[in-house]
Structures are given as C-alpha cells and as structure tokens.
Amino acid sequence: MSLSNLIKNWSSLRVKRPYEDQYKDKDYKWAMVIDLDACTGCNACTTACYAENNLPVVGREAFSKGQAMHWLRIERYWGEGEHMDKFPDHGAQFLPMMCQQCESAPCEVVCPVGATHHTPDGLNSQVYNRCIGSRYCSANCPYKVRYFNWWQYPERAWPNPLEQQLNPDVTVRSKGVMEKCTFCVQRLTEAKNRARTEGRRVADGEVTTACAQACPTSAITFGNLADDKSQVARIWERQQIKLASDKQEKDENLRGYRIFEELRTYPSVVYLERVRDSEA
C-alpha cells in the first residue's frame, strides 16, 4: 500500500470499519472469549499453538533477545503499584495474549506492501510471500503480538526427524517475514470448505482453535460472531460488548471487556474479568 494510497484511503481505514452490523449479512465473523477466572496459566494452550502452527523453538540465546515466536503467550502480572515488595495475596494475574484480530488494526494501515490485511470473515491476515520485513506492523501493534523471523528457522528449528511433526496445512515461514496468530485459519478454511460443499454454514462448535481445544478449564470460547446463536455471539451479547463500539455501555456486574479498546482497535477478543473472593 503506497503512501499516497494510504493517505487517500485514511478515512475509510480509520472510520468506516467497523460499523454497526458490519457482519449482519455475512456468513462469518470469527471471534473469541477468554475467561480469566478459568485460566490457570498452565501453558497448555501455548504448547498446542506450537504444535498446530509450526512455531519454531528458537533456543535460549534467541529467546534472551526477545526473538521468541510464541504467537500465544501467557503474561503474568502481580498487580498495581510501583514495587512488588509485598506478597501477592490474591495470586498471580495471568493473561493469555495473542493477536486480537482487530477490526481496525493498527498493523494493517502501516504495511507498505499490503502483506497484512483484513479478510471478509474478520481476520487480520498475514500474507507471508508479500511481506518484505519492514516490521512497521510490529512497531505499531499495541498488543505486541507480531513475531519476526530473524533467522532461517526451517534450517535449525526442526532437526531430523522433528520436521515430520510439522503440520502440512501450515506454511513454514522463512527468514525476513512477520507472523502472528491466525485464529488457526487452516482449520477455519477446512471447515468452511466442507460446509460450502454441503451447502450450509459452519455449525457452532464444528471448528475451534488449537488453544481452545486443548484448554483444560475450557477458558477459551471460539466461534462465529455472525451466527447470533453461536456460543461466542451469545456471550458477547450477554456481556453487552458491541464489536463496533470503542466504549462499552454495560452493566457494572458484567465481566466482559476488550483490552486497549480506547485505542479504537476494535479487537475480536473479549476477556472476562478474573474474579477474587475479597472476603477470603
């Protein structure tokens, strides 16, 4: 996307999407809900992501330079304040963080070659063979969930016969390209194709992401927001979260929120607040 094109279309990029009922007549809008009260921080989801999406193990040295390729990571916080000199009386605060599939994604507008763009079913996609590695998208992502291939991982991350574990449905990325969580787009594509062949829409629960499938506490719900009977759509509705709103007007006792909503990224992931018994 050239600069002139970017400036010319700025208003459409920043204002027009999302709009109310954008996906009303569409077949698909993929979305997620993560219940932080159910998440135990156990890392089952992150390992499932490595297995499903051919994420390279980078090793200690690369990890120390911040070059880990975990599309889904569990962040751990100890609370508010300046110092952590007291005991964490109410436990740790775990946050599974991955690409939020923003409806108005800050990464998309800065890509000079249109390698990251929005799909009709509401995913923020990454086209590997268009990517030139400018890393503008990563710099502009407020969630810091884009990962750059600093090395030619296919040559070092899967010594024989580990390469036989690679998922044939997912590309192995080479040096110089950006990558990130895709909501397991290979699973979505397969499910959509099957449904289309059978002349129907993908049913709720027919397809899920690797992280949601593994999660031992079922903290992650994935589904189609355009299907208002889907679990995910019903939770969004019950939590009074509107996709196209940057400030939710909702009841006080509802736990749903989106991270950095105020930045007008319009994320597709709703988190449900962690709960703690304040009497305990």
Partner 1 sequence: MSSSNIDRRDFLRVLGISGAAATLAGCGNTSIESGAELVESYVQPEDFVVPGVGVYYASTCTQCGSGCGIMGRVREGRILKLEGNPQSLISGGKICGLGQAGVQVHYNPDRLTTPMIREAGAFKPVSWDKAMATLTARLGSSSTLSGDQIAVLTGEISGHQKVLLGHFLESFKSANHIVYDALSPAIGQAANKAVLGVEQPVLQIDKARLILSFGNDFLGTGPSPVHMAAQYARFRKAPRGTLIQIEPRMTLTGANADRWYAIKPGTEGVFALGIAHSLLQHQEYAHAVPAEIAEALKQYDKDTVSEVTGIHADAISHIAGMLWEKSPSLVLSGPSAEGHVHGFNNAAAILLLNLVLENRGKTLQGQASHPFPQLTPASGSTTALAKLNQAMSAGQCQALLVMGANPVFTAPTFVPFASNLAKVPFKVAFATQLDETAHQCDLVLPLLSPMEDFGTHVAGYQPSGVELAIQQPLMERLYPETRGLGDILLDLLKQRQPEAYKAFPDYYAYIKTAVTKAKPVFKSKSSDDDFWEDALRNGVLRLEAPPAALEAHAATVKVGKPQALETDVNFPFFFVPSVRADLRDGRHANLPWLQESPDPLTTVVWDSWVEIHPTTAAQMQIREGDILEVQSATGSVRAKAYLFPGIQPDTVSMPLGQGHTGYGRYADGMGVNPFKIFDPMYDERTGELALYATRVIIKKTGEHARVVKDEGATNLQQGRKLVATMAADQAELAKEISRVTQ
Binding residues for partner 1 restricted to 188-217, rule: CB under 8 A:
203-208, 210, 212-217
Decide whether 239 or 268 has the Cβ nearer to partner 1.
239
Is residue 240 within the footprint of partner 1 (CB under 8 A)?
no
Is residue 10 within the footprint of partner 1 (CB under 8 A)?
no
Give the contact letters, 111-140, x = binds to partner 1 (CB under 8 A), - = no. ------------------------------
Burial code (b: 16+ CB inside 10 Å, e: under 16) for 157-191 equals bbeeeeeeebeeebebbeeebbbbbbbbbbbbeeb
Decide whether 107 or 235 has the Cβ nearer to partner 1.
235
- Using DSSP bridges, classify how beta strands 269-272 and 30-35 pair: parallel, antiparallel or unpaired: parallel
**Minimum distance between the CB of residue 89 and partner 1, rounded to whole angstroms?**
6
Is residue 165 within the footprint of partner 1 (CB under 8 A)?
yes
Stretch that binds partner 1, among 17-25, 128-136, 146-154, 155-163 (CB under 8 A): 155-163
**Minimum distance between the CB of residue 73 and partner 1, rounded to whole angstroms?**
6
Strands (E), 115-165: 116-118, 124-126, 147-148
Name residue 36's amino acid: L
Site for partner 1 in 70-89 (CB under 8 A): 70, 73-89
Stretch that binds partner 1, among 10-18, 49-57, 99-107, 242-250 (CB under 8 A): 49-57
What gap in Å lies between CA 105 and CA 185, rounded to an integer?
17
Q: What is the CA radius of gyration of the chain?
A: 19
**Minimum distance between the CB of residue 12 and partner 1, rounded to whole angstroms?**
29
Q: Contact with partner 1 (CB under 8 A): which of 22, 167, 189, 248?
A: 167
Residues in the chain: 280
Strands (E), 86-165: 93-97, 116-118, 124-126, 147-148
Is residue 64 within the footprint of partner 1 (CB under 8 A)?
yes
Residue that is written with structure tokens 């219940």 in the block: 35
Give the contact letters, 220-239, x = binds to partner 1 (CB under 8 A), - = no. -x---------x--xx--x-
Site for partner 1 in 95-114 (CB under 8 A): 95
Half-sphere exposure of 31 (CA within 13 A, CB side): 30
Instruction: Supply φ then ψ for residue 69, to 5 degrees.
Output: -110, 30
